Amino acid sequence: MKKIQPKSMNHGMAETAKPLEKKMYPMIRLPLDHFPEVKKWEVGEDYVITLHLKQTSMNIGKEPYMNNEAGFEIHGYDLPKEKGGLKKKSKEPRYHEDDMESEE
């Protein structure tokens, strides 16, 4: 999976303004009537979802301050079977010794 680097919130601010520490990631909103599984998810956790998209627009500007973006319609989605798309970072080992078969 490709990682996205967050951008500084200082974009478009005057040079004399105090720099902000917060970084922003691109965001999407998922309507709960189309994505009912999301109702069971928890804020602050990481989730994996695969989207089937149809591109509907493309905006590319020549100036760096312009919003360069593409628009999409969501036509479908898939969630990993384990835990409905949840991707939690577990502190417990993935396998327990009792579950491993002896190779002797």
97 pLDDT band, cuts 50/70/90, is: very low
Q: Is residue 52 part of a domain?
A: yes
Residues in the chain: 104
45: containing domain: 38-90
The reported pLDDT for the residue numbered 101 is: 43
Tell me whether residue 78 is in a domain: yes
Structure tokens at 42: 């928890």
| Residue 96 in domain | no
Report yes or no on 31 lying in a domain. no
Q: What total number of domains does the chain contain? A: 1
In this structure, the strands spanning 50-59 and 69-78 are antiparallel
Residue 13 domain-assigned (yes or no): no
Does 82 map to a domain? yes
Residue 65 lies inside a defined structural domain of this protein: yes
Q: What is the pLDDT of residue 57?
A: 95
Residue for token digits 């956790």?
Answer: 45
Would 18 be classed as within a structural domain? Answer: no
Model confidence pLDDT, tens digit, residues 52-94: 999 999 998 887 667 789 999 999 999 987 655 655 554 443 3
* pLDDT class of 23 with cuts at 50, 70, 90: confident
